[in-house]
Structure 1
Amino acid sequence: MGERTEEISIVELLGWSDGGKCGYCKDGKGDGLKRNLGEKNEEEEKEALEGGSVSLGCAAYSMHVRDFENFLLWGWSRSGSYIYKPFMEKTCCPQYTIRLDVGKFILSRTQKKVLRNMRLYLEKGVKAKGGKEEREDMSKRGGQIGDQEMKEENNEEKKPPKVEKGLKKKEIRRKKAIEKWMKKGLNVEDEMEKRMNKEKMRVKTLEDRIGSLSGEGFAHELEIRLVAVDSEEYVERADEEYQLFKKYQESIHSDDDVSRRGFDRFLVKTPLTSADRSMGSFHMRYMVDGRIVAVGVVDILVESVSAKYLFYDPSFSFLSLGTYTALQEIQLVRKLQERMPRLRYYYMGYYISDCPKMRYKGAFRPSDLLCDRSLSWVPLSECSPLLSSNSHLFTLFRPSLPTAPRLDPRNAKLYLGGEITNLNSLPPFVRSKITDKLESFCAFTTPDASKIVLVIKELQIDGMG
């Protein structure tokens, strides 16, 4: 095609999917069938999809990491090679993309406790009481942290008397220090700067709190390996991962029909490509005393790390591995910044405001949600009251902003018989059969999608006929 294959993104437009029952509210009127766009006019299509889970889907043959990052910025997600965008106005549970700027991340009290419990287990073999799992996958992300986490976070915000008392004590100490410096004839401004620098040094960072994962005299050793899914290292212990996934599915989801093929298709197969081997799809393996106890599935992109899924050994739930692995993934972004300075964001999949099992994502503060129409990022703290006041129905967080520019169908790259063409180059009778399908895709993407090669089944049949 005249371009390096590894730089080309090729996707097949599949059309609308009603998906049957929703995976979040278990509702929906769909029959689970794929519907091809273009069979009805736009209004008929939307009416047919009324109720239940509704999304637009594509099959990615190859997807450069740069282009997939754009899909995240447009509100899409990935499951294996299937990429999809919820139809927010029609789907039963509006799903908002949520991300965190890791440079602004603030540890909560609960998160500090999780890190402390892990250190106690590694150093002394002590198992924390009451530990429970919070996180499943970052696209569906079930888990049970929601109510408890938010309760504890809210409690932190309801203690102004202690804060005021603390500030008064701090002010008294500050005044005494100034008096002491003045008596000694020292420069107050210089001494204040030194004092502030010392205080900054005492503040523990995420990295400080994670601490060592092994050491002399430790009861247990934790090793974390970031493994590319297409590497020999992955293959060497792929079966162990699969057995762990089966155990997880059977115990947590009561699913005893887990095939190796399904596991590979869902969590191993990836369309992501990059000439830079430090980017792409990876499994973060968490090994306690050499045994894999948890696996986090992540995509490392140009400016972000996107968390896809987590599965773990249920017998280690006392370590709150959901929160712990998410904190490790945040640290991963920070660590990778040393050689990939553009990395900045941690994507946590979708956020559903009225789903209790999703609320824990808001505890990774300060997170932002994507406004579906303007494609602007809005602090979750601003979005929450808007969602509540709108009964958690589809909400525009920045209604005053204009709609983000969308891809013009005439500028889309279309694949036909080994060549790349465009809409205007097609015969009218062929163009009419693919226009609706193409326009639906363009309505959920921006002009940056003009770099992507689109495969449309109807075009291959009629265009070659």
Structure 2
Amino acid sequence: MSETQHSIVEYRGKRERGPCGYCSGRCSKYTHGMWAHRLTVQDYQDLIDRGWRRSGKYTYKPTMKKTCCPQYTIKCGVLDFQLNKSHKKCLKKVHKFLNTGIRSGTGDNVEAQEKAGTSTVAGKTTKERQKEKQEPAPGKGPDPTKPPCKKAKLLRLEKKKQKLAKVHQEGQAESHGLMENPSGNSPKSIDQWLKELSTENPKHKLEIRLVATPHTARSARDTAEFDSSYEQSYEIFKKYQIGIHKEKPHENTKSTYKSFLVDSPLEPEKPSNGPRCGYGSFHQQYWLDGKLIAVGVIDILPYCVSSVYLYYDPDYEFLNLGTYSALREIAFTRSLQKEAPDLKYYYMGFYIHSCPKMKYKGQYVPSFLLCPEACTWVPIEACTPKLDVRKYNRFEDADKVDENGVVNLDEVLVLFERQAMPYTVYKALNPRARDEGDVKEYAGFVGKKCYQRMLLFRS
């Protein structure tokens, strides 16, 4: 049996009383972990479907019943994804900046200058032109030349009535065969939004590049492409960690960056029925006018795109890059699904209902949470009422059994002295070994699908 066909992992057991970054608890976070020397993309897919997640080559699973902030794996179905108002607002803001150069909410654009009366038209400022026409300045009293202003609520009602009337007219036209391509009432997809918001001659150019990490790279060209932007990526990461997360400069060395976001245990694969880019770990880079401003670290797996981390230049925080990159990754997943039909989910990491800054993930509809005991997916709408009452919950019915969690030591594969063998054979060769409890724990956490394929390193 060749070890190159298998994932190789080293179980590290439980990590007691770690610091929590969500509730600031100093000794309240509990996890189980293992070091992944190598993982096939299918094995990692099956691991995250049991609540595991990676940080570099270290994979971990929260001890849900014990930890202070239970972390539930969350995924979004990209084929049925629906934008909400907040998402649309974010897209409009970014594309307004790209198309016109206007930065919403700042004072360094034409719109802000107009409001301040400092923009010039024919050599005169807005205030000077208003004075010449003897017009009252905006916001300084009623304008006698215009009708009285209506309240925002009335304007919204009128707009809604107009929209309903238009829909009614289109419906009548369709029923009489007067419309060749009726729009109907179905909401526009994210792909349509991204296409409609773009213009042919934008003020700024945003380019999104998919770059394979060194382990996933298949050619010298791929490696050179990643290396050419390595320094820029690292500087942005350091700037982000210091500016956004308030970390100290010495905490963000090149080695910590590499081990956290560059190193990956995933073995790249490029099957004929998969996406053209293949499976593995990638950096999705955002280049604005030739300048790198953000990087989304992602894993492309058989059934999903898994978001690992996002970091960006804090100078561009006004673009809401956290939300924008998530929407872009959803659109990217939709494009991959056209090449690989099984790849139809976007994994957003962990959802923490008790942490306000992590609850936003539930706004990506439709979303599903992983039941921590049955390891099945449940619509988030059915989970949140339970989480409102208690931090830790089982979402499935009590009679739902996790069949993949049944442990049979005869089927657990281990790697001993460069040979793959069942654990029972290893135990016969090493009668003094006292690791049966750890092996059972490991097998229960990773599940039958994985422990039958992965090799558990034994020394």
Q: State the TM-score, normalized to the length of structure 2.
A: 0.79
- In 2 relative to 1, CA 259–447 (structure 1 residues): closer, same or farther, beyond 3 Å? same
CA distance in 1, matches of 2:93, 2:368: 28
CA distance in 1, matches of 2:20, 2:282: 28
The alpha-carbon deviation at position 409 of structure 1 amounts to: 2.7
User: Are positions 1:220 and 2:196 aligned together?
Assistant: no
Q: 2:7 aligns with which of 6, 9, 14?
A: 9
RMSD: 2.8
8 Å CA contact 2:42–2:301 kept in 1: the answer is: yes
Q: 3-state DSSP class of the match of 1:211? A: helix
CA distance in 2, matches of 1:223, 1:69: 29
The alpha-carbon deviation at position 408 of structure 1 amounts to: 2.2
Q: 1:70 aligns with which of 34, 42, 46?
A: 46
8 Å CA contact 1:13–1:454 kept in 2: the answer is: no
User: Are positions 1:269 and 2:245 aligned together?
Assistant: no
8 Å CA contact 2:64–2:70 kept in 1: the answer is: yes
The alpha-carbon deviation at position 399 of structure 1 amounts to: 3.0
Bigger radius of gyration among the two? 2
For these two proteins, the number of residue pairs brought into alignment is: 392
CA distance in 1, matches of 2:236, 2:265: 24
CA distance in 1, matches of 2:421, 2:441: 19
8 Å CA contact 2:306–2:347 kept in 1: the answer is: yes
8 Å CA contact 2:269–2:280 kept in 1: the answer is: no
- In 2 relative to 1, CA 107–162 (structure 1 residues): closer, same or farther, beyond 3 Å? farther
The alpha-carbon deviation at position 306 of structure 1 amounts to: 0.1
Alignment of 1:238-257 (within 5 A): 238-255=230-247, 256-257=249-250
- In 2 relative to 1, CA 375–259 (structure 1 residues): closer, same or farther, beyond 3 Å? same
The alpha-carbon deviation at position 449 of structure 1 amounts to: 1.2
Q: 3-state DSSP class of the match of 1:94? A: coil
Question: Sequence identity of aligned pairs in percent?
Answer: 36
Q: State the TM-score, normalized to the length of structure 1.
A: 0.78
The alpha-carbon deviation at position 410 of structure 1 amounts to: 2.5
8 Å CA contact 1:12–1:59 kept in 2: the answer is: yes
Deviation sequence 1:88-136 (CA, Å, 0-9, x none): 1111111100000101100001101111111111111000128xxxxxx
8 Å CA contact 1:28–1:92 kept in 2: the answer is: no
Match for 2:453: what amino acid? I
Match for 1:65: what amino acid? V
The unaligned stretches of length 5 or more in structure 1 are: 30-51, 131-160, 182-187, 461-465
User: Are positions 1:400 and 2:364 aligned together?
Assistant: no
The alpha-carbon deviation at position 344 of structure 1 amounts to: 0.4
Deviation sequence 1:23-44 (CA, Å, 0-9, x none): 2112143xxxxxxxxxxxxxxx
Match for 1:244: what amino acid? I
Q: 3-state DSSP class of the match of 2:32? A: strand
8 Å CA contact 2:2–2:420 kept in 1: the answer is: no
- In 2 relative to 1, CA 202–122 (structure 1 residues): closer, same or farther, beyond 3 Å? farther
- In 2 relative to 1, CA 174–264 (structure 1 residues): closer, same or farther, beyond 3 Å? closer
8 Å CA contact 2:95–2:198 kept in 1: the answer is: no
Alignment of 1:48-447 (within 5 A): 52-129=28-105, 169=165, 173=169, 177=173, 191=177, 198-200=182-184, 203-211=187-195, 217-230=201-214, 231-255=223-247, 256-257=249-250, 258-276=252-270, 278-390=278-390, 393-405=391-403, 406=405, 407-425=407-425, 426-427=427-428, 430=431, 433-447=434-448
The alpha-carbon deviation at position 416 of structure 1 amounts to: 0.8
- In 2 relative to 1, CA 162–69 (structure 1 residues): closer, same or farther, beyond 3 Å? farther
- In 2 relative to 1, CA 174–125 (structure 1 residues): closer, same or farther, beyond 3 Å? closer
Q: 3-state DSSP class of the match of 1:11? A: strand
Match for 1:116: what amino acid? K
Deviation sequence 1:335-359 (CA, Å, 0-9, x none): 1122222210000000110101001
Match for 1:267: what amino acid? L
Deviation sequence 1:318-373 (CA, Å, 0-9, x none): 11000000000001101112222221000000011010100111111111000011
The alpha-carbon deviation at position 85 of structure 1 amounts to: 0.7
The alpha-carbon deviation at position 203 of structure 1 amounts to: 4.8
Match for 1:9: what amino acid? S
